[in-house]
Structure 1
């Protein structure tokens, strides 16, 4: 099929997510390899998005492509009631990565389903209904996951009856707690969360659900001690702690899990995206021993037709093994420490439109502003602006595909991107920010 025919059929028959259907002009991607992709006109783009932050090992990794081909020739699919070697090995590898005694995995097809089932498990385990989640978060596009989300994408589908209560999490750059240091932000955010728990009634709360590092909502690493404080609150009131690692997990932060930097063990961990680098969809819930015991002698009332799909699990095994063999997790940490952080910090000093940079590993956000003093964003919360559109257009014109959300550009390349390609992308981004400077003051 020609690229022009692909575009024609897309516009005639495909209903796109999060879009006004007659207002979009999707790029036709012809092929991809490593950290590059090519459009239908043969133009090459350096992929600084990892798509939706999931191609952690880059595009078309030969070891994983070969594993998919081999598995397809052996066993494409089987019902989830049967054991199969691929699912068993994937579960073993995940148990090695998980903290403490979290030894069991319930497999789903994606991150949103993982959130749905983690919430269901927490409610059944505790006999309670309410789930607390933070504003500035994203947990998925299915109904409960979307209601749990704390950004504007939930507004149109939030009827207020899903048992979800939102609270404010720590975010020093735009602190809601009048904090001036990370320690103050941590202490005041935990005090706010405790107050929310007490005012909602601890006996009504099944779970606190948190992205370890919020992803599309802004890549906001929690201050030291915050996650331990959440763990302590959950222990005090018998609340299940659910860690959402769908975007931040599987190497993105320079650790297998973003939790690894914080020394806490949740009760449930959700994952997806990077576990297969998106080559075949897969997600899941890592189940801790307390919740596991609730379903050791009575059935868990939930399942999916494709839970633990052998083609997806074989992809997960190959992805994890490739990441280990090639040191990708450690490399993500090195890329962040040695290349990304210094480059972004220099940009922050050079550009009037760059208010804040933050992140870890290969997981960074640039906050674009009109005024560094007032911190007025270059685009409104929940929307875009001509100024942001111009910065993005300049990136694309020069062969960089950026990840953009509201007034932010996220630097989220593959964990194995070569150093010279990473520097090339950062140079293009640096130049594009000059377009934003023209709209900024100071």
Structure 2
């Protein structure tokens, strides 16, 4: 097919997520390999978005393709009530890299279902109903997951579920607690969370749900001591700690799970995306021994036709083998420390519109402003239409030069595949350097 034919079918028949259908013009993509993808006119784009921050091992990894083909030839599918070799192997391998005492895995088709079922597990385990989550968060678009989401995608979906309470998480650059140091931000954020728990009633709260490193809503790395403090609050009040690692896990932060960096063990971990780089739909919940014991003789009232789908699990097994044998975790950590971090710091020195850069591994954000001292965002919160114009211009400048960016509100997120080479990352940063001159034009000195 030609690009024009692909576009015509798409526009006539595909209903796209999160979009006003008549205002979009999706790019037809013909093929992809490694850190790049191509349109039907042969134009190449460096994928600095990793699609939806999930192509952690890059596009079309030959070992992944081979594993999927081999499994498809042997057994395409079998329902979840049976034992399956790839399902069991994937669960074992995931448990082996999870924190101690998290040894069971419930498989889902993606991250939203993972969070939905983690909340269900926490409620049934505790006999309580409330869930606390932050305003700057995204947890998926199913009923309870979108209610737990803090960002504006929640608004048009309300009311959906009950029992969710939002609170402010740490964000040192735009501190909701007027903190001046990281230590203050940790202390004040934890005090705010503890006050929220006390005033909501500890005996009513089943879980605190947190993205270990907040993803789409800012790539907010928790300040030192914060996650340990959340763990302590959960322990004090008998609350389940759910770490949402859908975006941050499986190499993205230079660790198997981002929470490993802080040495904290949650009760439940939700995952998807990087577990198999989106080659097939797969997500899940890693479950602590204590919570799993609740359901030893009590049925868990939930399930999915495609839970632990053999093709998806075969891709997860292959992906984790690739991670281990090709040193991808270590490579991602080194890219952040040696290439992306220093490169973004250099961009900040050259461009007044860069208010802050932050991140770790291959998970970074550039926060764009019109005034550094005032920290005025380049575009307003939840900007749309003409108000989003400056960011749209920056994104267009990237695409014109062959870089596909990930943008959200006033930020560019630097999230290439974990397998990207140092030279590919430098190529992307060079394009960003030129595109940021567009943002500089809106700067008010």
Cα deviation per residue 1:13-46 (whole Å; 9 max; x = unaligned)? Answer: 0000000000000000010000000012111000
1-structure distance, mates of 2:114, 2:389: 36
- Would you say the 8 A contact 1:352–1:441 is kept in 2? no
Shift of 1:2: 2.2
- Aligned residue for 1:127? 127
- Aligned residue for 1:398? 401
Shift of 1:9: 0.6
Shift of 1:349: 1.5
2-structure distance, mates of 1:210, 1:343: 29
- Aligned residue for 2:77? 77
> Do residues 177 (structure 1) and 177 (structure 2) align?
yes
> Do residues 100 (structure 1) and 100 (structure 2) align?
yes
- Aligned residue for 1:46? 46
Shift of 1:158: 1.9
Shift of 1:297: 1.2
2-structure distance, mates of 1:75, 1:351: 54
- Would you say the 8 A contact 1:240–1:267 is kept in 2? yes
Aligned pair partner of 2:414 in 389, 405, 411: 411
- Aligned residue for 2:438? 435
More off after superposition, 156-165 vs 231-240: 156-165
User: Any idea what SS the aligned residue of 1:210 has?
Assistant: strand
2-structure distance, mates of 1:29, 1:290: 46
User: Any idea what SS the aligned residue of 1:103 has?
Assistant: strand
| Count of residues paired in the alignment | 442
- Aligned residue for 1:191? 191
User: Any idea what SS the aligned residue of 1:199 has?
Assistant: helix
User: Any idea what SS the aligned residue of 1:173 has?
Assistant: helix
- Aligned residue for 1:336? 336
2-structure distance, mates of 1:6, 1:94: 38
More off after superposition, 222-231 vs 376-385: 376-385
Shift of 1:101: 1.2
- Would you say the 8 A contact 2:144–2:160 is kept in 1? no
User: Any idea what SS the aligned residue of 2:333 has?
Assistant: helix
Shift of 1:380: 1.3
- Aligned residue for 2:319? 319
Q: Which structure 2 residues correspond to residues 20-35 of structure 1 after superposition, within 5 A?
A: 20-35=20-35
2-structure distance, mates of 1:160, 1:3: 39
1-structure distance, mates of 2:118, 2:397: 41
Shift of 1:160: 7.0
- Would you say the 8 A contact 1:108–1:283 is kept in 2? yes
- Aligned residue for 1:234? 234
2-structure distance, mates of 1:382, 1:74: 48
- Aligned residue for 1:267? 267
2-structure distance, mates of 1:170, 1:87: 37
Q: Which structure 2 residues correspond to residues 4-403 of structure 1 after superposition, within 5 A?
A: 4-159=4-159, 161-384=161-384, 385-403=388-406
Shift of 1:373: 1.2
Cα-Cα RMSD: 0.8
The 3 A distance-change label for structure 1 pair 109 and 149 is same
Runs of 4+ in 1 over 3 A off after TM superposition: none
2-structure distance, mates of 1:41, 1:440: 36
User: Which ranges in structure 1 are unaligned for 5 or more consecutive residues?
Assistant: none
Cα deviation per residue 1:265-321 (whole Å; 9 max; x = unaligned)? Answer: 111100000001000110000000111111011111110001000000000000010
- Would you say the 8 A contact 2:371–2:443 is kept in 1? yes
- Would you say the 8 A contact 2:137–2:150 is kept in 1? yes
1-structure distance, mates of 2:382, 2:291: 36
> Do residues 420 (structure 1) and 423 (structure 2) align?
yes
More off after superposition, 243-252 vs 412-421: 412-421
- Would you say the 8 A contact 1:355–1:375 is kept in 2? yes
User: Any idea what SS the aligned residue of 1:318 has?
Assistant: helix
